[in-house]
Amino acid sequence: MVRSRTLLELNQQAYPGCFLHRSNPNDVARTEHLTFICTEDREDAGPTNNWMAPADARGRLEPLFRGSMRGRTMYVVPYLMGPAGSPFSRVGVELTDSPYVVASLRVMTRMGRVATEQLGTSEMFAPGLHSLGDLDPERRFIMHFPRERLVWSIGSGYGGNALLSKKCFALRIAGVMAREEGWLAEHMLIVGIEDPTGRITYVTAAFPSACGKTNLAMLIPPAAFEGYKVWTVGDDIAWLRVGDDGRLWAINPEAGFFGVAPGTGPKSNPNAMATLDRNSLLTNVAMTPDRLPWWEGIGTEPPPGLIDWQGRAWSAKNGKAAHPNSRFTTPAKQCPTISPALDDPKGVPISAIIFGGRRARLTPLVYQSRDWEHGVFLGASMGSETTAAATGAVGVLRRDPMAMLPFCGYNTADYFAHWLAMGRRLTHPPAIFTVNWFRTDSDGKFLWPGFGENIRVLDWIIRRSRGEGIAITTPIGLLPAVRDLNLEGLALTDKTLAELLSPDIPAWNAELDEQERFFKQFGSRMPQGLINQLSDVRTQLNRVAD
């Protein structure tokens, strides 16, 4: 790959085993409008997915695949999702003509013999076919055939379009398997939070792409939380099942992190910096004359002679030097806070589930659901402003239930019903919360400091999940009493705190209207329980307003 310039060698003294990859400038993020769920019945894909009949999809792609690998090497890549030897792990096999995809899969999954050994003589693996094709967006498609557990992807070499283990298999296809088999495949990080007594509490958190999941997964507590430690189990995907003990248990199916580079630096995420400085791929970042990787937020000023993500001499008037969706691909094992549970075949028990979006206005810093069904409603009614992780406009509010809008491989209303059914099997369900680190004031400045300070919110969440802590009942859910948040060492004014922690009731009615519109598109497939939750909130809001 170095010889063919698919990879550029980075400074091997400072970044041993690290390489830079520059993708085609038309191929820098997931393309949701070219991603399809191919079921016989359109209704099984649902109104939030692009749909194509399986025969049509095959007919469209067969001519594109025919001869597409001629003159290239086809790699056959068996990979295991989940810890070796775990009954909850699953095997996939990707055929690809991209060596960059192979190298990425080697970091992101447990690749090779470990997978074929887990498979044994079974034929239960998820097949994936991938070709770069000619990289023309006109001939780019990511097709999912849930019945055969099959993915066909052509015309892109980037991220979730091409590493079929990740969004295609571990979320969309695994989600379909999970529904049939009674578990959940979720777009969630997993962390263990150790308190000074040594007790570790595990939580999962769902956020849309590029909303800080990797930072939260590697959080370093501030001085006021001496003795606390965050253990990283996963930063993107959780497979969740009901344990014999009636609790929810999680594994991280992946073995690496595919994190957003810009904004990652020694202040915001020192653990990520200490993870990615060896044996890592950097994609679409900038490079200094000393061949060091560089991106906005890495903690240094852009040095003279900087080369931008497209290989051009950079100057301030060119805009960003690194692409906003540039990424690091790095082995999870190298993370200083990696949890030994990453390889535990039984996974970790989950005490709390967090749903988080990017909302400049409206959504308070944190609130808790009244019970499981209300918690599912909080997830189902999530909204978030879009980011550079997918092509299209950035900063536009869209409904993104459970952060799964682009990743749900079947009808999202059926997915909501499956969440409700899971709750009925949990005798000890985790507590469910919504968080929003992204509230801004009228000047557009963030009200909450975020990053390591988020432990203050996690601390309240953990205490609430144990039935401790103080909450105030409001129409939207249970909000923390200000005095019950540990804010020691933080200089926040009372006004800021009030803004962060109080629901804006008139604005919330408009929010409910939007949520209702979103739910209505599912027609009679929408679970009545969630429709009732919405009208309950509305009734309570109006009572408060009166």
464 binds ligand SAT (CB under 6 A): no
Cβ closest to Mn ion, residue 259 vs residue 503: 259
- The distance of closest approach from Cβ of residue 485 to Mn ion in the complex, given in angstroms and rounded to an integer, is 28
Cβ 19 vs Cβ 7: under 8 Å = yes
Q: What are phi and psi of 533, to 5 degrees?
A: -55, -45
Cβ closest to Mn ion, residue 27 vs residue 236: 236
User: What whole-number distance in Å separates Cα of residue 419 and Cα of residue 424?
Assistant: 9
Binders in 208-237 for Mn ion, by CB under 5 A = 209, 236
18 is catalytic: no
Site string for ligand SAT, 197-226 (x = CB under 6 A): ------------x-----------------
**Which among 159-167, 242-250, 288-296, 466-474 is the span making contact with ligand SAT, rule CB under 6 A?**
159-167
**Which among 44-52, 158-166, 419-427, 465-473 is the span making contact with ligand SAT, rule CB under 6 A?**
158-166
Among 64, 170, 389, 417, binds ligand SAT (CB under 6 A): 389
Write down the H helix ranges in 66-204.
Answer: 99-108, 113-119, 159-162, 174-181
Site string for ligand SAT, 24-43 (x = CB under 6 A): ------x-------------
Q: Is 206 helix (H, G, I), strand (E, B) or coil?
A: strand
Contact of residue 258 among Mn ion, ligand SAT, none (CB under 5-8 Å per partner type): ligand SAT
160 binds ligand SAT (CB under 6 A): yes
- The distance of closest approach from Cβ of residue 173 to ligand SAT in the complex, given in angstroms and rounded to an integer, is 14
How many residues of this chain interact with Mn ion, rule: CB under 5 A?
Answer: 2
- The distance of closest approach from Cβ of residue 384 to Mn ion in the complex, given in angstroms and rounded to an integer, is 12
Cβ 250 vs Cβ 348: under 8 Å = yes
User: What whole-number distance in Å separates Cα of residue 460 and Cα of residue 469?
Assistant: 7
Which residue in 18, 211, 335, 408 is the catalytic one?
Answer: 211
User: What whole-number distance in Å separates Cα of residue 26 and Cα of residue 20?
Assistant: 18
Cβ closest to ligand SAT, residue 257 vs residue 522: 257
User: What whole-number distance in Å separates Cα of residue 456 and Cα of residue 486?
Assistant: 6
Give 480-535 as a DSSP string. Answer: EPGGGS--TT----HHHHHHHHS--HHHHHHHHHHHHHHHHTTGGGS-HHHHHHHH
How many residues of this chain interact with ligand SAT, rule: CB under 6 A?
Answer: 8
Q: Please state at what angle helix 412-425 crosses helix 174-181, rounded to 10 degrees.
A: 40
Give 213-273 as a DSSP string. Answer: HHHHHT----GGGTT-EEEEEESS-EEEEE-TTSSEEEE---SEEEEE-TT-STTT-HHHH
159 binds ligand SAT (CB under 6 A): yes
- The distance of closest approach from Cβ of residue 19 to ligand SAT in the complex, given in angstroms and rounded to an integer, is 18
Cβ closest to Mn ion, residue 209 vs residue 387: 209
- Beta-bridge partners for 21: 283
